[in-house]
Structure 1
Amino acid sequence: MFSRLRADIRCILERDPAARSAWEVITVYPGFHAVVLHRWAHACWTHGFKWPARFIAHVARGLTGIEIHPAAKIGERVFFDHAMGVVVGETAEIGDGCTIYQGVTLGGTSLYKGTKRHPTLGKNVVVSAGAKVLGGFLVGDGAKIGSNAVVIKPVPAGATAVGIPARIIPSKAGESADVAAPQKFSAYGITQDDDPLSQAMRGLIDNAAGQEHQIALLWQAIEKLSSQPGTQGLRALRRSARRELRGGEADAADRQVERVLAPCCSGRVHRPPGTPLRECPPAFGLLLDFAAGSTRCPVHEGTP
């Protein structure tokens, strides 16, 4: 018993730089008081003294602001830091070396009695302020739960869960053992890894910038090409297209182009006759296919 108390005091001195002495921890740390009182309540519960167990838990809640069901299982060296408003449900299990901050809920999503409704935390898990871990699943050893995260699915060992609902940031290769080690303790579960959503957003932005650059280069090339009337390559493309679209098909294609170009020629886009094709954006792409060799809108000036 006393060895467990010494381990609990030592873990608080290691993780809280504000703790100055063992005497201070014993007398004025509500997280320490909550763990000690819970052990008494849990002993009563396991020996069949349900009401005394609930009464001790009720007193502990009033003294510390931490509500722990007497049936919950808590390991050694567990530290409730600034833990006002923490709720630990009946079937919850907290492994050795865990740290839980204020406003955390280890809750359930089921109303069925006799089932595993609350989460199990592995060893050296850090649950940051305001986080909600809901459901009867496992949070692996050395995992971190970010502040205000809502976790509704298992978290692998060494991973970090952030956001609402929580997204999983996998641990780096070979890092799990280090994360679980006491010397690697991270206050409030702070990690240097990027949020996967921010990584994806940065990738999309970089990709869009690259596409804009490529489009600008293509536009310059097309503009240069369209400004050269009588270009043999464009005329050859026109002849090839006419050969492929024989007879009525070619005429139908021309009529389709005219329908597509109707907004350009109905007064909604004012453009004097003879305006170069590159200044007629609605028609630009289609005209390169169907009016190759021309630098003017075929609806206004006709095709060659």
Structure 2
Amino acid sequence: MIKGLISYIDSIRARDPAPRSRMEILLYPGVWALFFHRIAHWLFNGRMYFFARFVNHFSRWLTAIDIHPGATIGKNFFVDHGFTVIGETSHIGDNVTIYQCVTLGGSNPTNGKGGKRHPTLEDNVIVGSGAQVIGPITVGERARVGANAVVTDDVPEGATMIGLKARSTLVPAETWLREFIPYGTPCDEPCEPTGNIERMEKLEAELADLRAELAAIRNEHSEMAQKCGTDN
């Protein structure tokens, strides 16, 4: 058990440069939220729903992280800071990182039906701060969801999603050769599809040609005006 705790703490330290010691990580709200969730989830699976909810509410009050007792969470899950909501049928794989103010929300809550309503995050996914991942979709392994993105469709393995509604940058995670990207957002790589860049370059070239033609027409008119004035 102690060895497992040390391994978990070291996995957080590998993703977060802020802590100066393992003991400091034990004060993280995300660590405590996961600890209480393990208890609540055990109670939930044992059909002790009231007690599971009680532990959940206490954890939310203490950590500002709301993880439904029914959510399934793998190894080395890390919520960096708080104010995160994870729904009942969410399924989270191993080594997943979520930053503050993220929602793993359900779709169509007004139909009164159960079943899978929340996202599945596969192994090594990173979700940036403020992102909203909604519905029974799957975020593929090693995918990154950028800050404030809204994701309502399946995310391919290794893709990076940005924007409202989120779109793929078409730059696979292997491009950076990095195992971990803070906040799930690359800051030194192109975030637009190559086709958009080519289209912009073409438009800029056309604009330069139009400016040259306009300058030539102005010079021609100026020469004609000067000639007319000389003839007079």
TM-score of the two chains, using structure 1 as the length reference: 0.65
Aligned amino acid, residue 7 of structure 1? S
Q: Which has the higher helix share?
A: 1
Q: Which amino acid in 2 is paired with 1:158?
A: G
* Residue of structure 2 equivalent to 1:106: 104
Please name the residue that 1:186 is paired with.
181
3-state DSSP class of the match of 1:156?
Answer: coil
Report which of the two structures shows the higher radius of gyration computed on alpha carbons: 1
- Structure 2 gaps of 5+ residues are 226-232
Contact 2:133–2:151 under 8 Å retained in 1? yes
Aligned counterparts, 1:203-222, within 5 A: 203-214=198-209
Give the Cα–Cα distance (whole angstroms) in 2 for the partners of residues 220 and 196 of structure 1. Answer: 33
Tell me if 1:135 matches 2:131. no
Q: 1:214 to 1:71 in 2, by over 3 A?
A: same
Could you say if the C-alpha distance between residues 17 and 209 of structure 1 is closer, same or farther in structure 2, counting changes exceeding 3 Å?
closer
Whether the 8 Å CA contact 1:81–1:100 is kept in 2: the answer is yes
Q: Describe the shift of the 1:177–1:77 C-alpha distance in structure 2 as closer, same or farther (beyond 3 A).
A: farther
Choose between structure 1 and 2 for higher RCO, CA contacts under 8 A separated by at least 6 residues.
Answer: 2
Using the alignment, how far apart are the partners of 2:15 and 2:170 within structure 1?
24
Report Cα offsets for 1:193-250 as digits up to 9, x if no partner: 32227x55543332123224555777899x8xxx9xxxxxxxxxxxxxxxxxxxxxxx
Q: For residue 71 of structure 1, what is the amino acid of its counterpart?
A: G
Q: Where does 1:69-218 land on structure 2 (aligned, <5 Å)?
A: 69-82=68-81, 84-111=82-109, 112-172=112-172, 175=174, 178=177, 184-191=179-186, 192-196=188-192, 202-214=197-209
Q: Does 1:66 align with 2:61?
A: no
Structure 2 match to 1:18 = 18
Q: Is the 8 A contact 1:8 1:32 kept in 2?
A: no
- For residues 73 and 189 of structure 2, the distance between their equivalents in structure 1, rounded to whole angstroms, comes to 29
Residues 160, 185 of structure 2: 8 Å contact kept? no
Identity of aligned residues (%): 41
Shift of 1:41: 0.4
Quickly say closer, same or farther: Cα 1:220–1:24, change in 2 above 3 A: closer
| Deviations 1:78-132 (CA, angstroms, capped at 9, x unpaired) | 11111x2100000001110011110000001122432111000011111011000
- Say if 1:12 and 1:19, in contact at 8 Å, map to a contact too: no
Distance in 2, matches of 1:130 and 1:32, equals 20
Q: What letter matches 2:203 in structure 1?
A: A
| SS of aligned partner of 1:23 | helix
- Corresponding residue pairs, total: 217
The alpha-carbon distance between structure 1 residues 202 and 48, as it changes in their structure 2 partners (threshold 3 A), is same
**Distance in 2 between the 1:200 and 1:15 partners?**
33
Could you tell me whether the CA contact under 8 Å between 2:126 and 2:142 is conserved in 1? yes
Letter in 2 for 1:164: L
Q: 1:4 to 1:203 in 2, by over 3 A?
A: same
Q: Which runs of 5+ in 1 are unaligned?
A: 228-274, 277-304
Are residues 24 and 205 of structure 1, via their aligned partners in 2, closer, same or farther at CA, if it must alter by over 3 Å?
closer
TM-aligned CA deviation for residue 177 of structure 1: 11
Distance of aligned partners of 1:128 and 1:212 in 2 relative to their CA distance in 1, 3 Å threshold: closer
**SS of 2:161 mapped into structure 1:** strand
